[in-house]
């Protein structure tokens, strides 16, 4: 037990004992703040860095099994049944061939984490995409439909959404541009678009870097220009894509 004199000295303002106690408290607060900052930085690196273990892009494309329907194919993660909002993402590859599986695999881990149903239309054409969109909500019990694709598939994902706005809730073209033609209705122009393009992608940006912006004038579009990326799939941005989808479901 401290003596009465010691207690008295501790109660004196700016006594050595009180200064020492304050220093201890400030040091503890400083250490706590440093730990919080370091923890936040580590989480951000894990979640958003291309090499972070919590970023789907840091992992190799997932091996998946598809449900084969009459005119389309599905990847249905277990998380889809538990999702509060039933979302479907139609993924279009650049063209014909066996690319559907490849691009669905690029999306699979994001679908697992967020409960998205993924769909592919093999050897897609405009007519096949239209037929799919017209029946998929009823057939698969989905509430929101998004179209996406890479390169020419990305361009077509925009075309589908802009020409059939009643069937599409949002568009995510990748390494592509959207075209706001005179035929696009005012309602279609209001549909949200998240356009991801590499800063070195001369196909989507054009030689002067303005093609995507100029072609999409009047659209409700948000650009994500990825530094240093050429005409390639934007693996590093998939976490941001999921955040955008989850914010644009209404």
Give tens-digit pLDDT for 50-106: 444 455 556 677 888 999 999 999 999 999 999 999 999 999 999 866 678 899 999
Percentage of the chain beyond pLDDT 90 is: 68
Contact 42, 88 (CB under 8 A): no
Q: What is the mean pLDDT of residues 109-135?
A: 96
Contact 142, 136 (CB under 8 A): yes
For residue 31, what pLDDT band results from cuts at 50, 70 and 90? confident
For residue 196, what pLDDT band results from cuts at 50, 70 and 90? very high
Reply yes or no on whether the pLDDT at 150 is more than 70.
yes
Question: Regarding the domain delimited by 62-247, which CATH topology (the fold level of the hierarchy) does it fall under?
Answer: Rossmann fold (3.40.50)
Predicted confidence at residue 50, as pLDDT, reads 47
- The phi-psi region of residue 158 (left if phi > 0; otherwise alpha if psi is between -120 and 50; otherwise beta) is alpha
Mean pLDDT of the chain: 86
Note the pTM of the prediction, 2 decimals: 0.76
> Across the chain, which distance is largest between two alpha carbons, in Å?
92
Residue ranges of domains in the chain = 4-48, 62-247
């Amino acid at each position: 037990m401290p003596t009465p004199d010691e207690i008295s000295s501790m109660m004196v303002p700016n006594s050595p004992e009180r200064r020492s106690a304050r220093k201890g408290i400030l040091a503890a607060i400083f250490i706590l703040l440093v730990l919080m900052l370091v923890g936040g930085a580590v989480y951000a690196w894990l979640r958003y860095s291309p090499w972070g273990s919590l970023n789907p892009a840091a992992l190799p494309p997932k091996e998946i099994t598809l449900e084969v329907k009459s005119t389309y194919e599905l990847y249905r993660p277990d998380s889809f049944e538990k999702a509060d909002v039933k979302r479907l993402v139609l993924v279009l590859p650049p063209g014909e061939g066996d690319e559907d599986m490849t691009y669905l695999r690029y999306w699979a881990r994001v679908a697992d984490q967020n409960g998205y149903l993924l769909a592919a239309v093999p050897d897609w054409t405009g007519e096949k995409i239209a037929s799919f969109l017209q029946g998929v909500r009823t057939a698969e019990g989905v509430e929101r439909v998004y179209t996406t694709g890479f390169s020419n598939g990305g361009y077509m994902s925009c075309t589908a959404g802009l020409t059939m706005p009643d069937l599409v809730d949002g568009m995510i073209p990748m390494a592509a541009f959207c075209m706001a033609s005179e035929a696009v209705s005012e309602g279609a122009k209001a549909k949200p678009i998240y356009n991801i393009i590499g800063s070195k992608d001369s196909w989507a940006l054009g030689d002067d870097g303005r093609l995507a912006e100029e072609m999409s004038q009047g659209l409700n579009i948000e650009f994500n220009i990825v530094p240093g990326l050429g005409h390639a799939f934007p693996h590093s941005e998939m976490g941001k894509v999921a955040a955008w989808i989850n914010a644009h479901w209404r």
